[in-house]
Amino acid sequence: MATIRDQARSWAETNWDPEMTVAQWWECLFEARYCLPSLPVEAFGRGYSRQEENESRLGLRDAGTLGPAVGISMMMAAPTIAAHGTPEQIERYIPPMLTGQESWCQLFSEPGAGSDLAGLQTSAARDGDVWTISGQKVWTSLAAGTEYGMLIARSDRDKPKHSGITWFAFPMRQAGVDVRPLVEMTGQAFFNEVFIDDAVVGHDAVIGSVDDGWRVANTTLMHERAGLAGAGVMLPFAKAGRDSPDLDKPAGSFAYYRFKTRGLGSGNAGPNKAKRLPAAVWYHQISAELGLDTAERLDSRMRLYISEEVNRMLGLRARHSAVPAVGSLGKLAMSEIARMRREVGNQSIGAAGMLAGADADAGPGKGDVQRRTLHSPAPAIYGGTDQVQRNIIGERFLGLPKEPAPPPDTPFKDLPAN
């Protein structure tokens, strides 16, 4: 009997045409339900487990094709709407995500509500079938140019903190929405702050129930942490979204490009997403070429390699069976691995680690170590800080006592401000 991997490869070999545009290829994947097969059948998936989805993507990779659209839309928005949306909402929002026609961002964190997300202040006021939204969000990844945002807002200040929150499919391209980039020390502006001033969203865009958005948001966060923890199959990818210049390009122009680049990946997020070799192996090759090997450096690279493999296997195990707190555990592991890659990389190239810009790109490792060094603090912050993950593990899974706080039924309006 043909395996899921065999079936996907056979289908791809029959249907793949590198002369198709990216948009046409993604539509083809959508019709065959290979965009996000782990979604339920009624949500345009195949009802696969995560492991089965990985197997199908291995089949696509075997056939040398471009992968489906990637990003926040696929990792978080589509699974959340599939779990909590009505049939009409699933029909409206999920197909454009899967075909790459619409991209989404995540409007959760606020200046005073990051680690304490439930303390958010952004307000949602209803008038008939329309909600008016006002507030500020921050650390919003790739917000510029997106069509929709996963927005959580305070819809009832008289209810306790974790109640009175509603989850919206929020249209980003409207008056009253101001996206401002946050330039990082890497020189990139991956994150943004978003100012919302009397913007509107229809009542039919409420995902789940009014005032029950915290439960819906936890589904979103669960998928985010599992995605950031890695262990997925990486495929060549193009950029999705209504304004993406990639949609009209030949799909074949992307199929191998990402694997020809010298840069290394760091899981599903970071400066270079396409994995070619484990970082430890790559750094070993560089260090050997430079003649910088010592027993201590070899030991450090071996520890890094073991850590990468253990985290990868943890992710694979999670796809076969339920592993308590696997998202938080994987997220913590990726933070530590990012720091290890930084240290081991700089050990491996020696004084060349002080090079920057074009000098770094022309030096040992083609600037990969320097980019990792600048990016290394980020994984401990985005997707829920390391401290938040430890609290989740301790309180929800180990049963440790929670930190002192007002009674859980205290109305939000009576709580001290963050």
Task: Supply the residues annotated as catalytic.
Answer: 224
Check if the beta carbon of residue 98 is closer than 8 Å to that of residue 74. yes
CA distance 294 to 288: 10
Within 13 Å and on the Cβ side, how many CA atoms surround 51?
12
> Which residues, at least 6 apart from 414, have a Cβ–Cβ distance to it below 8 Å?
none
DSSP 330: H
Burial environment of residue 322 by CB neighbours within 10 A (0 to 12, 13 to 18, 19 or more):
exposed
Across the chain, which distance is largest between two alpha carbons, in Å? 71
Q: Is the dihedral of CA 25, 27, 28, 30 positive or negative?
A: positive
CA distance 352 to 210: 55
> Which residues, at least 6 apart from 418, have a Cβ–Cβ distance to it below 8 Å?
112, 113, 116, 119
